[in-house]
Chains A and B, each alone.
Chain A
Amino acid sequence: MTSEVTAKGTGTAGSASGQGASRRRRAPVKRLMAPAVIFLLVWMIVPLGMTIYYSFQNYNLMMPMMRGFAGIGNYAILLTDATFWDALGNTLVLVVACLAVTVGLGLLLALLFNATFIGRGVARTLAISPFFVMPVVTGLIWKNMLFHPVYGLISWAMRSLGLEPIDWLAHHPMLSIIIMISWEWTPFALLILLTGLQSLPEDQIEAVRLDGANRWQEFRHIVIPHLGQVLYVVVMLESIFFLTSFAEIYATTSGGPGTATTNLPYYIYLNAFFQYDIGLSSAAAIGAVILANIFAIFLIRFVAGNLNAGSAR
């Protein structure tokens, strides 16, 4: 009995002093974290809140008299606007196509650059360089120097082969945008996948060879599972960037012809800076946020289920 009491007594005393110590230790943590938290709040939550607020307002800069609460009016307009649905479709096509091209091509190039050959260092640097070109510059280079039906390099090549040059941006606008964005982003996939390949232990490849695997089985059973997590990162980051593609479209097709290359960011831009309809564009922006979230959740589920679960280590 006595011992129990003593034990309890010391226990409480111990925990009390422990709490005191941890409180003392925790206090400055909060204060030190505060600036970052406040900064994040101001930077992200306030604009998001304002966007949500405007999306429920009648607010067109050209009609300053028509202010006031709009209810779901902006959203109703949005959902009945054929252009919005086009933009949504274009966004999805753009993201999925660019993901497929950049990851596929990036993986092929990564396998290539993982091999040893003369001048590998220089070749790697060159292969990665498109990533350092600004999006607007990318658009202008492709528009004026490559895709141009008269002065473009591709047209020249086609003419030298006796073919009719194609006006890429006019006749295959979406394909052109996909080519440009993929050109810009394949190096990113290459870079990350290459580091993934280089972290693959040599002896695993040797073990699988001795186990009787051919090159394809080696790739299928060892390389791909090893790259699982890296692929996940690439797909995640790229899809977020592709969802917000804007500059390449702005600098080349301006969303056209018609609405052929109008994606969600460009649709928002058009509504805000051509129609001056802040309310509607805010509603579209909220739509984009929701889309991005759906995308992210789907991707996480999909990628985690297929690749990541097995290879996490």
Chain B
Amino acid sequence: MAVVELKNVVKRYGGGLTGKAARSEEAPAVDDFNLVTEDGEFVVLVGPSGCGKSTTMRMIAGLEDNTEGEIRIGGRDVSDVAARDRDIAMVFQSYALYPHMSVFENMAFSLRLKKAPKSEIDQRVNEAASILDITHLLDRKPRALSGGQRQRVALGRAIVRQPQVFLMDEPLSNLDAKLRVDMRAEIVKLHRKLGVTTFYVTHDQTEAMTMGQRIVVMRDGRIQQIDTPNALYARPANMFVAGFIGTPSMNFMKMRVGDDTRSLKGETARFRAGDAFTGDLLDSHRGQEVWVGIRPEHLQHHEGDAGALENGLSGTVDVVEPLGSVTMVQLEIDGHRITAQLEGDTRARSGDTITLTCESARLHLFDVVSEQALARQPVESAATA
């Protein structure tokens, strides 16, 4: 168990023997990564593929060198420490079990390398096996196991080590959907039981939201936001995070801030910004366009006269997807594609013109140029509204 610190960590590829000259000109794979975990924290690194999340994890593991910056594990600078001396256990996407060893041997391997006494090896392997419920598989070879069982063995191999830090690199992505949900809960439980600082890499925002105590959202090698799941959802720092977190993803439409700095106007849509936004921020954008973000689940069907609405947008329904508990409706409003998650019994049909409304406290505003969030709503107002 340990605190992991990353300070100004940069990873650049290229410049090596095989690297092409052009690659050294490329943007760094990881740029200025700063993070200090708490002891025993579960940190999720999430982002689209190629965002540098796996590279970051591999740098913590010592499988890649950091070009710049400092990595500390338990206070010790590990930049020059080899992977095998970092006391870190990693669960790989492919599980990377040793095919010629039985499950027991796989799990015991690291202890055998350390020349631990046989009784201790037996005890620790059996303990880990019983936690993961794989005691009956100990004699089998990995090839005789199902995907879910292999996953457990891979976890078991990590647990037996009793390492300072767990690293998990998309460990669930090779499992089928149902198993993935089960293992998700199991890993969270396991973490709670063992209390080991854990880094978890995924591209799946649902996994990130359900598992992480803190989530690091990355794009193009840069951290976009580090926050708790709820805060990421309620107060995304920029349009990327806003669009990435939450399913279905947030709707965006361009609107103009009115001269009264309180109203937002599109072609047909209009909002009153209300108290959720500080007047100053809108003041500075008086008369300018801003991106308005609305989560599909915050849109409501308004039956009745649209003209009287302060917050309203109407458009023609394109596609209706009834999912039972909810109905997803896609419509075209002022040239933007908008998805609304309406109640299950909504009787909208494609071709209909419907009016939607949204509480102003639920709106997210972003600068058109920088795409950074403009005015952050206080959590309370978002929660109580």
Contact = CB atoms under 8 A, between A and B. Distances in A.
Interface in A108-146: 116-118
A206 B18 contact: no
B61 A210 contact: yes
Contact of B96 (A201, A213, A221): A201
A217 B101 CA distance: 14
Interface in A200-217: 201, 203-204, 206-214, 217
B63 interface: yes
B17 A117 contact: yes
A133 B18 CA distance: 31
Contact of A203 (B82, B86, B92, B101): B92
B9 interface: no
A212 B114 contact: yes
Contacts of A116: 17-18
Given A221-B98, A228-B100, A313-B99, A209 B63 contact: yes
Contact of A211 (B82, B84, B93): B84
Nearest to A205: B96
A211 B114 CA distance: 9
A47 interface: no
B63 A206 contact: yes
Interface string A174-214: 00000000000000000000000000010110111111111
| Interface footprint category on B | 20 to 34
Contact of A213 (B17, B18, B84, B86): B84
A10 interface: no
A209 B84 contact: yes
Contacts of A214: 84
A214 to B, nearest CB: 7
A212 B84 contact: yes
Given A116-B17, A209-B83, A210-B88, A201 B100 contact: no
Contacts of A204: 96, 98
Contacts, number: 67
Interface string B152-167: 0000010001000000
Contacts of A226: 99-100
B161 A211 contact: yes
Nearest to B114: A212
A19 B99 CA distance: 42
Contacts of B96: 201, 203-204, 206-207
A311 interface: yes
Contacts of B85: 212
A18 interface: no
B109 A221 contact: yes
Interface string A272-313: 000000000000000000000000000000000000001101
A222 B98 contact: yes
A262 to B, nearest CB: 42
A225 interface: yes
Given A203-B96, A204-B96, A211 B63 contact: no
Given A201-B94, A201-B96, A212 B18 contact: no
B375 interface: no
Interface of B: 17-18, 61-63, 82-86, 88-90, 92-94, 96, 98-101, 109-110, 113-114, 143, 157, 161
Interface of A: 116-118, 201, 203-204, 206-214, 217, 221-222, 225-226, 228, 310-311, 313
26 contacts: A117-B17, A201-B96, A203-B92, A203-B96, A206-B61, A206-B83, A206-B96, A207-B98, A208-B98, A209-B83, A210-B63, A210-B83, A210-B84, A211-B110, A211-B113, A212-B113, A212-B114, A213-B84, A213-B113, A217-B113, A221-B98, A222-B98, A225-B100, A228-B100, A310-B100, A311-B100
Given A206-B92, A209-B83, 19 more contacts: A116-B17, A116-B18, A203-B93, A203-B94, A206-B63, A206-B83, A206-B90, A206-B96, A207-B90, A207-B98, A209-B84, A210-B83, A211-B110, A211-B161, A212-B113, A213-B113, A225-B99, A225-B100, A226-B99
